[in-house]
């Protein structure tokens, strides 16, 4: 009996404990937490993401390159939509009934119970009109965000653009983004996306039965604030960036300028370019299609992706290696009769220089001199194929230290690394028996040497620094503390003693400042500029005009590479364009050129866009009469424009010689 009594009280005790637990949970649910209330009132309580302002991008002088302006998205939760005047909503946001049905169907397919974007990027005016009537459209509500605005409309390829995320983006960033969010897709906007985007906030808003917001739930204690993205201070100087884009208008080419002592990119011009504001807002898609269809391909980022032989711009590097290897000294001379014999092949030089040494060889861009030093270098350990090939392998490894044959690691996406041939590559191409005469064109920067404009500018930075470079980079500082990745402060040495650089720089100084130099069109008043022209062969048309240089000679502030496709000789367009940009950066002024009286406006106005191939004409049977008429027409046809040796604005054009010049 006593056992039954004890069991009775035990069971009663268990029930009491369970009842207390249930009462405690009920008290917690109703008083201690809002979690379940929020769930139960989901139809009246809506969660909104508060989008942060994207980080502002400024130039090195704190001039704004990319900022934000407000816009609004209209969202819909299909399950909450009730009968309403759909035509009224269509009129407010400016869409047709057909568009309405398509958009609503898309929202239903995505989710009946979760909000999705119905109409994005509403203007401030549309938003104002919509707010007055939003209570008439149950299930619809507005979300604020910002979009980009580029005040100066410059540096499109450099800054990049934003676009809606795709499933891969959502997966890559661990679910931070939702469908309809925007993300950097190119340029700085992509490379620095994690620091530019900021952190989204959350806001819980109560709505009444008439779809009118009643304010934050619980005085905002469940909300979180959005955190704006970090400001980026870029390395770009907007003044010379804008000037470079003006000078390259109606041309295909590139300008890259670097501050040698820091590796900071001062100008990053890719032409043809585009106004970055065209890829913002509701006109993104048609403008993108238009740019994509442009036959001159403005989406190619030529400073990083342009594939060019350096031509004669490679000769200073070649001279440095020859000097450091003891193959020649500053007084070693070779005779230039206007050509060079390699085996049974005759390679022309642009002019007869007679006995010529290193300094004048660079200033005159004498092909024969550089063919000669390359041959001497390749045969320094013996003239057999095996010896020359081993020497070539050592030579190309030295060239690689200047940043050719691999990416430089700039903090921008899409950098290309074009191939520099190794010994085994030539063996595959030519068989076991090859030597300097087989690959002689690399001596003057042609053949199997290809570079980007960024690499060419970096070579100039190395020479300006007398033997080292810092990785080129485009961001000077991030956030309030202006930090950057430490790798953009490290020096990378090319392992050539500093004493070998001055003789080469002497030749580059004479190329610009002497009467016999090939780069006299880049001469500046009161500033010693050192440089080298190049005229790069182009199998598809007129040669490319190239110039690389730096200034001033002592304590250099700017190293620059300019490439103008179809521009002819290096002194015709690339050299003077480089000089104007350099002068603007160093003095903030622009003066005329005394050599030929040309003005900056002449270079801005010059149109060098290559002619596009016309559609093939319909074949027509020509009678004898037609044939005679056609022959007369051909006689009257305007001859092709001559290539100019120096300025394109000289009154008398000099016809080019038919050879492989690389001046």
Predicted confidence (pLDDT) per residue in 556-578, tens digit: 999 999 999 999 888 889 999 99
Query: pLDDT band at residue 639, thresholds of 50, 70 and 90?
Result: very low
Kindly tell me if the per-residue pLDDT of 171 is higher than 60: yes
What is d(CA 207, CA 660) in angstroms, rounded to the nearest whole number?
Answer: 77
Closest CA to 44 of 204, 202, 208: 208
Cis peptide before 272 (omega within 30 of 0): yes
Could you report the per-residue pLDDT of 317-333, keeping only the tens digit for each?
999 999 999 999 999 99
Looking at residue 73, what is its pLDDT? Answer: 87
Q: Is 266 helix (H, G, I), strand (E, B) or coil?
A: strand
Kindly tell me if the per-residue pLDDT of 624 is higher than 60: no
Looking at residue 44, what is its pLDDT? Answer: 67
Task: Give 337's DSSP letter.
Answer: S
What is d(CA 112, CA 73) in angstroms, rounded to the nearest whole number?
Answer: 18
Contact 663, 312 (CB under 8 A): yes
What is d(CA 157, CA 271) in angstroms, rounded to the nearest whole number?
Answer: 9
What is d(CA 378, CA 393) in angstroms, rounded to the nearest whole number?
Answer: 10
Q: Find which of 206-215, 517-526, 611-620 is predicted with most confidence, using mean pLDDT.
A: 517-526
Query: pLDDT band at residue 64, thresholds of 50, 70 and 90?
Result: very high
Q: Which sign does the torsion angle of CA 363, 364, 367, 368 carry?
A: negative
CA dihedral 446, 449, 450, 454 (to 10 degrees): -100
Q: Which of 347-356, 503-512, 639-648 has the lowest mean pLDDT?
A: 639-648
What is d(CA 567, CA 588) in angstroms, rounded to the nearest whole number?
Answer: 26
CB atoms inside a 10 Å sphere around CB 130: 20
What is d(CA 285, CA 96) in angstroms, rounded to the nearest whole number?
Answer: 19
Q: How far apart, in Å, are the Cα atoms of 119 and each of 73, 93, 99, 245, 332? A: 6, 8, 10, 36, 74
What is d(CA 330, CA 393) in angstroms, rounded to the nearest whole number?
Answer: 25
Instruction: List the end-to-end C-alpha distance of the chain, in Å, as a whole number.
Output: 118
What is d(CA 234, CA 464) in angstroms, rounded to the nearest whole number?
Answer: 23
Kindly tell me if the per-residue pLDDT of 148 is higher than 70: yes
Contact 214, 182 (CB under 8 A): no
Could you report the per-residue pLDDT of 436-479, keeping only the tens digit for each?
999 999 999 988 999 999 999 999 999 999 999 999 999 999 98
Closest CA to 415 of 493, 303, 295: 303
pTM of the predicted structure, to 2 decimals? 0.82
What is d(CA 200, CA 18) in angstroms, rounded to the nearest whole number?
Answer: 43
- Round the CA-based radius of gyration of the chain to a whole number and report it: 34
What is d(CA 342, CA 438) in angstroms, rounded to the nearest whole number?
Answer: 9
Kindly tell me if the per-residue pLDDT of 31 is higher than 70: no
What is d(CA 126, CA 134) in angstroms, rounded to the nearest whole number?
Answer: 12
Closest CA to 254 of 362, 150, 151, 158: 158
Q: Is 409 helix (H, G, I), strand (E, B) or coil?
A: coil
Contact 216, 187 (CB under 8 A): no
Query: pLDDT band at residue 32, thresholds of 50, 70 and 90?
Result: low
528-554: average pLDDT: 90
Could you report the per-residue pLDDT of 96-121, keeping only the tens digit for each?
999 999 999 988 888 888 788 888 88
Instruction: Decide the pairing of beta strands 544-551 and 530-536.
Output: antiparallel
486-492: average pLDDT: 95
| Residue found under tokens 């979009």 | 147
Alpha helices in 401-448 (DSSP H): 423-430
Query: pLDDT band at residue 211, thresholds of 50, 70 and 90?
Result: low
Looking at residue 109, what is its pLDDT? Answer: 87
What is d(CA 624, CA 622) in angstroms, rounded to the nearest whole number?
Answer: 7
Could you report the per-residue pLDDT of 582-619, keeping only the tens digit for each?
999 999 998 876 666 678 999 999 999 988 776 555 44
506-529: average pLDDT: 91
DSSP string for 463-524: HHTTSEEE--BSEEEETTTTB--GGGG-EEE-S--GGGHHHHHHHHHHHHHSTT-S-GGG-B
CB atoms inside a 10 Å sphere around CB 275: 14
Contact 389, 428 (CB under 8 A): no
């Amino acid at each position: 009996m006593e056992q039954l009594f004890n069991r009775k009280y035990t069971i009663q005790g268990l029930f009491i404990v369970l009842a207390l637990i249930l009462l405690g949970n009920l008290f917690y649910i109703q008083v201690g937490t809002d979690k379940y209330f929020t769930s139960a009132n989901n139809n009246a309580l809506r969660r909104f993401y508060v989008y942060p302002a994207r980080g502002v991008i400024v130039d090195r002088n704190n001039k704004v390159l990319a900022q934000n302006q407000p816009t609004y998205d209209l969202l819909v939760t299909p399950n909450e939509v009730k009968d309403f005047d759909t035509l009224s909503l269509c009129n407010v946001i400016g869409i047709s009934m057909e568009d309405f049905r398509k958009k609503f169907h898309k929202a239903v397919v995505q989710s009946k119970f979760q909000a999705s974007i119905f109409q994005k990027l509403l203007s401030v005016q549309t938003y104002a009109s919509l707010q007055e009537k939003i209570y008439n459209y149950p299930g619809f509500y507005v979300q604020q965000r910002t979009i980009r605005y580029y005040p100066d409309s410059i540096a499109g390829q450099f800054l990049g653009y934003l676009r809606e995320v795709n499933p891969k983006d959502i997966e890559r960033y661990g679910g931070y983004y939702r469908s309809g969010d925007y993300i950097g897709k190119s340029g700085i906007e992509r490379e620095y996306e994690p620091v530019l985007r900021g952190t989204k906030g959350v806001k819980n808003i109560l709505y009444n039965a008439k779809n009118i917001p009643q304010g934050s739930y619980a005085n905002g204690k469940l909300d979180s604030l959005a955190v704006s993205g970090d400001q980026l201070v870029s390395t770009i100087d907007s003044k010379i960036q804008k000037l470079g884009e003006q000078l390259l208008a109606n041309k295909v080419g590139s300008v890259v300028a670097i501050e040698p002592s820091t590796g900071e990119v001062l100008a990053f011009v890719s032409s043809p370019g585009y106004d970055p504001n065209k890829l913002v807002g509701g006109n993104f898609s048609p403008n993108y299609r238009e740019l994509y269809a442009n036959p001159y391909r403005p989406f190619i980022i030529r400073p990083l992706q342009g594939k060019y032989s350096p031509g004669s711009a490679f000769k200073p590097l070649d001279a440095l290696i020859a000097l450091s290897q003891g193959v020649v000294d500053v007084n070693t001379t070779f005779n230039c009769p206007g050509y060079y014999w390699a085996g049974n092949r005759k390679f022309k030089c642009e002019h007869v220089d007679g006995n010529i040494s290193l300094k004048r060889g660079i200033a005159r861009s004498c092909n024969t001199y550089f063919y000669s030093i390359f041959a001497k270098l390749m045969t320094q350990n013996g003239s057999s194929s095996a010896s020359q090939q081993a020497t070539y392998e050592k030579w190309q490894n030295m060239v690689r230290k200047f940043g050719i044959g691999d990416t430089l690691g700039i903090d921008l996406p899409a950098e290309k690394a074009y191939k520099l041939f190794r010994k085994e590559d030539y063996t595959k191409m030519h068989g076991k028996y090859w030597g300097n005469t087989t690959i002689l064109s690399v001596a003057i920067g042609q053949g199997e040497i290809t570079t980007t404009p960024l690499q060419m500018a970096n070579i100039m930075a190395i020479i300006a620094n007398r033997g080292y470079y810092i990785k080129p980079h485009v961001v000077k500082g991030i956030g309030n503390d202006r930090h950057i990745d430490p790798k953009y402060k490290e020096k990378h040495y090319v392992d050539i003693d500093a004493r070998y650089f001055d003789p080469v720089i002497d030749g580059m100084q004479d190329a610009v400042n002497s009467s016999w130099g090939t780069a006299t069109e880049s001469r500046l008043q009161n500033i010693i500029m050192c440089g080298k022209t190049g005229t790069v062969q182009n199998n598809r048309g007129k040669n490319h005009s190239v110039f690389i240089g730096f200034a001033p000679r002592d304590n250099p502030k700017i190293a620059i590479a300019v490439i103008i496709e179809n521009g002819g000789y290096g002194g015709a367009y690339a050299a003077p364009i480089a000089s104007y940009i350099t002068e603007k950066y160093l003095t903030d002024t622009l003066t005329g050129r005394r050599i030929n009286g040309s003005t900056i406006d002449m270079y801005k106005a010059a149109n060098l866009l290559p002619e596009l191939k016309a559609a093939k004409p319909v074949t027509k049977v020509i009678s004898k009469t037609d044939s005679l008429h056609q022959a007369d027409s051909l006689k009257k046809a305007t001859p092709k424009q001559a290539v100019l040796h120096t300025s394109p604005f000289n009154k008398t054009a000099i016809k080019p010689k038919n050879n492989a010049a690389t001046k």
